[in-house]
Every structure is written in C-alpha cells, then in structure tokens.
Structure 1
C-alpha cells in the first residue's frame, strides 16, 4: 500500500502540531511549512501527494500559493481555514483548491476529505478504460453514455455534460462559477438559474429521492459536490 506524503502549510503552531500527531497516528507521511515561500520550496523538492493549506499565512494569503501551485501541478489541495466567509471559500476553490474545512474542525471529517481527494486523484490517473463507475452509475466517455443499473439514461446534451463533469470530479467541491464556466462556457458564470434547473432535473433522473440526494450534494452558498457511498 502506498505511503502518501501530505504537505501541511500552516503557521498556527497548535493546529500544525495537532495535524502532525494525527497524521503520525494514521500512518501518513508528512512535511510542514509555515509560510508561502517555504511551502513552495518544500513542494518542489518533495512532490507531496496532497496539500493542507491555511489561507492566513505569515507572509501572505494562502490563495496566492494555491494559484502558484495550480500553474504547475494538479495535486489535491484541501483548504483548512478559520475564515468562514463564503466569498473567501469560493475564491479559494476558484483559484484551484479542491476542498475546504473550516476551523474549528473535526479530525475525522478532515481525514475523510483527505482520503476522498486521494482516491479521486488516483482514479483520474488510472482512467484508461474511459469508464467511471459510481455505485449504480456508469459513465462511458467513448460512447458518451451514462447508465443507471444497466439502463442507458436519456439525457439532454447539457445534462450529459453536467453529469460527466460531476463524475470526473467526484468528491471535489465545485463552485457555481466553475461548473457554469466548464459546462456552459465563458459568459455564463452568473447564470445560476441554469445550473439549479439542470441539477434538479439530473437529481430526478439519478437519485432514488431527489429531495435527499445521495450523489449530487449541495454545498450551501458555495456550489455542489458529487459523492457516493462505497
């Protein structure tokens, strides 16, 4: 089993210590940085499998670091922040973060998010068959089809592209702006009603109970997250 290396980028000594103790207990390898400058140097020299990034670093905003990392790598990035403002969280996701946890946080939730993002990254790297299976849903990129319990779903082109985008980014928190830009294109980033309408129709087609979805989860004030029970 691969020993994953996690890069902790946090300048709060008590939080950093808690993370280090936790990762040691759960047998994750880790390295730590307390500034943007040191974090970039450590990242380039150690090539970690996942980053935990605080937004309030001693030498600047963590969002700037995320943007720098995204220019050179697709490594999963989980934001761990005391900032509860939705605009800050959305901004971090928009510049390239994959997920976020707000302080104070549950260690168990953080570990679950870490595992989910590591799995997603491995799944994307190993996507050689052009198929993704999520419980009873199967996406076939070659035939541009999605089936549920073996039955091909009748989807409109936009529904297909939206569900495909969700499934290719499962267990990743996606902002409204990201989804609209990727599925509808530049110029549609503010067309929230388009997104809400299509998410509702997709839920009716893939969820057992569209009012209590198992797949397409709402991230209040931020966007959506496609996940599934394993």
Structure 2
C-alpha cells in the first residue's frame, strides 16, 4: 500500500475497555493524531489490514482472542510498530510480547504523557516506506486474505487447520528465502518443540496434499533438505 503523504500519524487502538478507548481517543487527538478504535481482535485486524495505521496500541486481554495471538497474526504480513497494553506486569509477560514482535510494552494504569513519549519514539523509528505489506496474496491460483484468514485455490475455498495456515503464512512472509525447521517449530509450536521436526513434516505433507503441490516438482512449497522450506510463489 502506498504511504499517506502529509497526513497526521494514524494510531489504531485495539482494546475492549470503553474507558481506555475513550481516554486514548481524547489524548491522542489532542496531540494531533488520527485515531481508529476497535473493541476486539477481529475488528482490529480488519482495520489494520484496510486502514493502514502508522502504529497499533494493542491490549493483551481481548474478549475474542489473546493479544499475543493478534500480534502473531499481524506480524505475518505487517511490521507496523505495536505497543502492547496490559494489566499483567510480570517480566515473563513483557518478554513474551517483545520476543513475539511487539515494539514496546506499557502496564495499566499508565500516564498519558509517558505513553505519548513512547509513541513518538516508535513513530520516529518507523520504516519510511510504510509498514504494512499487502494483506492479500494472489498469484492467479492461490489466493490468501490474511486479514480474514481465508484461503482459496482456483476459486474454491480451502479448509486449512491452524497449523497448516500458520506454516503457509510464515513461508509467504519470507517468500523466496529459506525458513528453517527450527524457526517454524519455535513460532508455531513453541520453544520446547524445536527438535520435533516430525510435527512439521506431517503438517507440510497435509498442506501439500490440499494444495495439490507435488514435492518432486513444487509450485509453492520447496523442501530444502535438512534445513527447512522455501515458498516459491510470486503473487
């Protein structure tokens, strides 16, 4: 998507607490920001995909999905700066969010001036060419809408499990490059499963079956023996 020129920074707030959304809406607008408000994960991801925010403020405790899950999905197709909000103040919780791709973490309750200072830092660090990649992949046969988590092949909906979709999305996010088995296992199964390569082989095998992708002459999923996988598509 093209970057917006000469526009106020656009901040997307994803938080289910009405008072927090109102507090941030007033505070951000007073500082000259354009504000988008979402009360749940589904609404927030849709806005992130269609409204091109310059920064996302994301609450961890959402009613429909954990904020950690929202962050993981967002990172499949976007590098927009994300500031996590939570009442959980443990070091473990903060490290988990930062390791998963959050740019900063603020514990509730918070002061508006501190929050604004953190936002200014993140916006200064934001990539100049815009942070959001296309939320849709389409090569004429395989179509993926990342915002809706919908996959179709030759115009027909494709039913993928959560793990199958996660592997496919991760490979597309790094298209043309080898993604190691350990990287996929750590991101999709967790750090205690980095040696469980048989899990990954099973999921990739089922994914290939659903795509009709011949491993001997792949269109999309190429195995790099002993290392990992590479997505070949160019959509």
**C-alpha distance after superposition, 1:74-115 (max 9, x if no partner):** 100001111111111111111110001101101111000000
DSSP 3-state at the match of 1:56: coil
Give 1:124 shift: 8.6
Please list the CA deviations of residues 142-162 of structure 1 after superposition, one character each: whole Å capped at 9, or x if unmatched: xxxxxxxxxxxxxxxxxxxxx
The one of 40, 47, 56 equivalent to 2:52 is 47
- 1:9 corresponds, among 6, 9, 14, to 14
2:122 to 106, 117, 123: 117
Q: Which residue of 2 aligns with 1:88?
A: 93
Q: Deviations over 1:11-62 (max 9, x none)?
A: 0111111000001111100101111111111111101000000000011210
1:22 to 27, 45, 57: 27
Name the Cα RMSD after superposition: 1.7
Partners of 1:23 and 1:55 in 2: CA distance = 20
Gaps of 5+ in 1: 126-230
Aligned mates of 2:42, 2:78 — CA distance in 1: 17
Matches within 5 A, 1:60-139: 60-122=65-127
CA distance in 2, matches of 1:115, 1:52: 13
Local SS of the residue matching 1:57:
coil
Q: Which runs of 4+ in 1 moved over 3 A?
A: 122-125
- Which whole-Å CA distance do the structure 1 matches of 2:120 and 2:33 have between them? 11
Which residue number in structure 2 is paired with residue 33 of structure 1?
A: 38
> TM-score scaled to structure 2, two decimals?
0.51
Correspondence 1:160-179 to 2 at 5 A:
none
Q: TM-score, normalised by structure 1?
A: 0.52
Shift of 1:123: 6.3
Q: Distance in 1 between matches of 2:24 and 2:30?
A: 10
Aligned residues: 126
Query: Structure 1 residues 84, 124: CA separation in 2 closer, same or farther (over 3 Å shift)?
Result: farther
Which stretches in structure 2 are left out of the alignment for 5+ residues?
Answer: 1-5, 131-235
